[in-house]
Structure 1
Amino acid sequence: MIRPAFEPETLPVEATGAHLPPVAGERLTPDGLRARFEQRLAWTPEPMIEAPWRKTEGDPRVAAVLVPLVVRHHGLTVLLTQRADHLNDHAGQVSFPGGRQEPFDADATATALREAHEEVGLAPSRVEILGALPDYLTGTGFCVTPVIGLVHPPFALKMDEFEVAEVFEVPLAFLMDPANHEERVFRYEGGERRFFTMPYPRSESAEPNGQGGSEAGGHHFIWGATAAMLRNLYRFLAA
């Protein structure tokens, strides 16, 4: 089982993005997002701050995730999953629906939509694809394409309980406010690993049915590759 050799939640916060501006509200709407992706403006992705993947055998494994932006009456939310604890890759972590590209997948979008349907039962017909962010290379050897899509209700979800322990939603405005982006560092002999975290209170999260989170207290601890891709979405929208 691949797990970090440290407990990320126990590490102190060394910096936040409080000095950076939040994304303008008009960009956090379906029309604002459509316009932003259509413009194709130049922007600079966040510098890689994780410990890099060390090539040991072959190329990185190609994968894709769907970044599902749910169109709610109170504003867009991001649908996320809590991975099951027994999985080999990123066990127990908060993730986007997604996984490895299969030979029959036409492209990254096909992979992302297929995986979202398999993991949480999200019908591809409910997803309006907007575009994709630059590939993200994880420290575990995955080259991940984040595919951005608007999810239009009504839709029904059915979790694959082998892979997914929980599904929840976080307001996009919260995740696009850099004051909520924490930077933590794990130092070890010979190096360090820097990463973003975005803890979100469980008491404020919403299930896809619009009800409150299933567990009281604590936080959904968004970190690592998921937080880094959200940070890149911030950079893209704020540029």
Structure 2
Amino acid sequence: MAETVEVNRAGLLEGVPHGFLGRRGGVSTGDVAGLNTGPGSGDDPARIAENRRRAVQAVLPGARLVTVYQVHSPDCVTVGPQPWADDARPHADALVTDRPGMLLGILTADCAPVLLADREAGVVGAAHAGWKGAIGGVTDRTVEAMEALGASRDRIVAAVGPCIARRSYEVDEAFYGRFLAEDEGNAAFFAAGRAGHYQFDLEAYAAARLAAAGIGRVEVLGLDTYSAPERFYSFRRATHKGEPDYGRQISLIGLT
């Protein structure tokens, strides 16, 4: 019997079609076995397409999936009535829309997926917040783009999905120094590790950036991609294990 697609949902986004998906329920095999949705992997494109179809079916059947070519930037794009083709995806790391029937998708494999919604305005957003995008302000840009469509910061709710947890995310002195140079208060997101190293809390940092942007209700799912190989893909885990490839999970949000 085929495994069911696992959809992790946030309470704050209840009633809005959304889901943070993992690797369960797909057709890919080998190192990327499961629901691999990343065209950047070496997976069979036909399997990726089927996995994406299953992902859409699990969250908003019949919707048009729209993604971007992610480059760890702070850039956000707006999806209108005629979204781009898959082979013409803009280089960006966040999307927003006010168009029903569109399903925004963000791919991750340790970075933090962030889904946002203003129910009253009918505006949703999705952001890929790796450390570069997060410190660069990708969530800030997403909120601004949602406002341009009529959303309000005091109504927007957000959720941070499965990402690498602090206990699994070791960084060096240079990484730590980069964040402190941005804001000395960022020291709160680091714990001491082995000599010359720290443990970084990406999830808490992403949530704090949202709060600093005026988003009063933010939910974190507390799911560590690194330590749950049966549920999630992880770039860092694959690297540590010497695996030649790794999959990408998808997080989705849309409007009916």
Structure 1 and Structure 2 fold alike (TM over 0.5)? no
TM bucket, shorter chain: under 0.3
TM-score by length of 2: 0.27
More helix by share: 2
